[in-house]
Structure 1
Amino acid sequence: MKITEFKADLALLLTAFIWGAALLPIVASLKTNDVFTIVFWRFFISAILIGILALKFDKFFDKNALKYGAMLGFTLFLGVSFQTTALKYTYSSSVSFIVALYVVLVPFISWLFFRQKVRIYAYFGIIFGAIGLYLMQKNLQFLLGRGEFFSVCSALALALHIVLMGHFTKKSELFTFLMSQFFVIALCSLIFSLTFRGGVVPNFDRAFINAMLFTIFLSTILGFSVEGLMLRYTTPIKAAIIFIFKPVTAGFLGYFLGGENLTPTQILGACIIVFGILITEFGSYRQKISNKS
């Protein structure tokens, strides 16, 4: 089946819905299991399964995929761990909207590492993002709560991951690249858990099993594979706009299924964050169009 840009966009939209829906089962599992335990088993099992796909579909022993995947694995470990930790302290809907700020941080991370010019739209995006972040807090204050703080840390790590991934993903075999990342995430989780928590033996209750089934097969293997493949057929700007539906999905499910009642001020903050993301991405799109003309 030929993959068109339209089909790629639809696949990314489905991925955004899956990633948004994944936060609720993770929240439930955090009541009886530690952050690093959940992250370890999610990515350890995912690495084994994606490794089987790599043996079948990828060029054997792609050194670039292993090297670049290992480098990116640590940044993704930080992003996932900070986000999972944030879910212990605040609503999944709040976490998802704040973590989505990674989109407006990408231009500044690109400047920091690769000296790419920061356009005026990015400054507007970061200003609206900061305003939205302030309004998303339960108690309006300039010092972030723990949940909001870890969410911002996750956004920073994911922004770095996206910037580096844009440079490395096209130079690597997809499944080997993902397998390398997942194994590094699992290894980091194991080290952190053994150092600070005493091990990764989980509490095999219903919440943990549900979280593993959803995050391993849908959120991790399917989600990351679709993202890596479909980004070859559509533009990163369109993908970033489509991924706005991740926090929207998390907010919708958190409200109707998770009993998360955001205040009108927090809802306004979420809308301002989305507006800031749209300014950043549409500004980038307009700049590329003007450069071509």
Structure 2
Amino acid sequence: MTAPAAPTLLPVLALVLATFFWGSSFLTISTALEETNPLTLVLCRFGTAAFLLALALRGRIRAIPASTWKGGAWCGLAIYCCYTANTAGLMTIESSMSGFLTALYVPLTPFLYWIVYGRTPSKAAFAGAGLAFAGLVLLANPFTLSLSNNWGEWVTILSALLSAAEILIVGKFAPQAKPAELAFAQLVFVTLFAALGLGVAMAAGVPLKETVWSPVVLGSIAWLAVIVAFVQVLLAYGQRYVPPGRACVIFAMESVFAAALGWLVGERLGVGGLAGGLCIVGGILLSELPALFKRTRK
């Protein structure tokens, strides 16, 4: 599971860019859910993304090794469960609450890494995760949020735990696979799991909102597919070099970008939000200090 040495900061920048696209997707998901249901949205989003990446890979698909498909299956299962749980939670809670509860994966990931692999993350990773989570608390301002103990909140907390597991699983397989190929395998399996989940739900008579195939829904699916295809390649590349304990801190930038984009469209950020954003950036710098010192010595 040891990540190969990266010659530059490009893997870190790739993860930061991925969080930017993540942060830009919250509003699009909420808009799409007004005219569709979570299971259909996840299926269409990842199915379209898999098709787009297949066009990019073309003849290289047959050459993807079995180990990459295996990694894609495990990663795909974690991603499907995570995205479905998080999207379902957004049906009953506000995006601000979802953003805060989802961010619990930041402090959870180093501990989960410790429990699963028996390897203690660096002190810098723990300190960076703590500072980043403090920033998330300031950014989300949970003291103004009202926990109503509804199922959407618990499902979103579950999605945070699944996010931590996903980071560990991708971190396990990414160092041995080509980023685009691993991303494609992930998308294929997420699509398969989503189709199976939707089929089971329909057969069981689960009441799902009927999808209205309006320009808004189609446009949302197209944009979300472009985001997820690009993001999965960035993640597969970035986590090839950046271990899970550091990666989870970088992923906290998702909330910073979401807040910044909200501010651009008229939402109030406030002093707490600015302080929170600075704490998250500080947490990333803190977690990256050991790697920066190593590069400086070289």
Please say whether Structure 1 and Structure 2 have the same fold, judged by a TM-score greater than 0.5: yes
Q: Aligned partners of 1:138, 1:61: CA distance in 2, in Å?
A: 49
Q: Aligned partners of 1:16, 1:210: CA distance in 2, in Å?
A: 21
Measure how far apart 1:191 and its partner are: 2.2
Of 220, 228, 234, 1:220 maps to: 228
Question: Are residues 1:73 and 2:76 paired?
Answer: yes
**Aligned-pair identity (%):** 22
Q: Aligned partners of 1:110, 1:82: CA distance in 2, in Å?
A: 22
Amino acid at match of 2:21: I
Of 20, 25, 34, 2:23 maps to: 20
Asked whether the 8 Å contact 2:48–2:222 carries over to 1, the reply is no
Q: Aligned partners of 1:124, 1:145: CA distance in 2, in Å?
A: 31
Question: Unaligned stretches of 5+ in structure 1?
Answer: none
Q: Aligned partners of 1:136, 1:270: CA distance in 2, in Å?
A: 15
Q: CA-to-partner distance for each residue in 1:251-293, whole Å, 9 max, x for gaps?
A: 2334554x7678x8xx859966984896598368559969xx9
Q: CA-to-partner distance for each residue in 1:120-167, whole Å, 9 max, x for gaps?
A: 7748956995993995265555x7444433322111111111112111
Asked whether the 8 Å contact 1:104–1:277 carries over to 2, the reply is no
Amino acid at match of 1:136: P
Measure how far apart 1:26 and its partner are: 1.0
Of 34, 38, 43, 1:35 maps to: 38
Which residue does 2:188 correspond to in 1? Answer: 183
More deviation, 186-195/94-103:
94-103
Asked whether the 8 Å contact 1:17–1:246 carries over to 2, the reply is yes
Q: Aligned partners of 1:107, 1:270: CA distance in 2, in Å?
A: 25
Query: Structure 1 residues 32 and 260, CA, compared in 2 at 3 Å: closer, same or farther?
Result: farther
Q: Aligned partners of 1:137, 1:154: CA distance in 2, in Å?
A: 21
Question: Are residues 1:247 and 2:255 paired?
Answer: yes
Q: Aligned partners of 1:31, 1:102: CA distance in 2, in Å?
A: 27
Which residue does 2:47 correspond to in 1? Answer: 44
What secondary structure does 1:203 align onto? coil
Asked whether the 8 Å contact 2:109–2:245 carries over to 1, the reply is no
What secondary structure does 2:80 align onto? helix
What secondary structure does 2:93 align onto? coil
Q: TM-score, normalised by structure 1?
A: 0.77
Measure how far apart 1:208 and its partner are: 1.0
Amino acid at match of 1:33: T
Asked whether the 8 Å contact 1:237–1:281 carries over to 2, the reply is no
Question: Unaligned stretches of 5+ in structure 2?
Answer: 1-5
Question: Are residues 1:150 and 2:159 paired?
Answer: no
What secondary structure does 1:5 align onto? coil
What secondary structure does 2:63 align onto? coil
More deviation, 221-230/235-244:
235-244
Asked whether the 8 Å contact 2:93–2:152 carries over to 1, the reply is yes
Query: Structure 1 residues 282 and 98, CA, compared in 2 at 3 Å: closer, same or farther?
Result: farther
Q: CA-to-partner distance for each residue in 1:15-52, whole Å, 9 max, x for gaps?
A: 32221111111110100100000000111122233234
Question: Are residues 1:116 and 2:98 paired?
Answer: no
What secondary structure does 2:99 align onto? helix
Measure how far apart 1:10 and its partner are: 4.2
Q: TM-score, normalised by structure 2?
A: 0.75
Of 187, 207, 219, 1:210 maps to: 219
Which residue does 2:3 correspond to in 1? Answer: none
Query: Structure 1 residues 6 and 201, CA, compared in 2 at 3 Å: closer, same or farther?
Result: same
Of 121, 138, 142, 1:136 maps to: 142
Query: Structure 1 residues 31 and 201, CA, compared in 2 at 3 Å: closer, same or farther?
Result: closer
What secondary structure does 1:194 align onto? helix
Amino acid at match of 1:251: A
Question: Are residues 1:90 and 2:93 paired?
Answer: yes
- Written as runs of structure 1 = structure 2, the 5 A alignment for 1:45-64 is 45-57=48-60, 60-64=63-67
Asked whether the 8 Å contact 1:33–1:202 carries over to 2, the reply is yes
Q: Aligned partners of 1:200, 1:73: CA distance in 2, in Å?
A: 25
Q: Aligned partners of 1:202, 1:270: CA distance in 2, in Å?
A: 38
- Written as runs of structure 1 = structure 2, the 5 A alignment for 1:275-286 is 275=279, 282=286, 285=289
Asked whether the 8 Å contact 1:51–1:176 carries over to 2, the reply is no
Q: Aligned partners of 1:172, 1:128: CA distance in 2, in Å?
A: 29
Q: Could you say what the CA RMSD is over the residues aligned between the two structures, in angstroms?
A: 4.0
Measure how far apart 1:234 and its partner are: 6.1
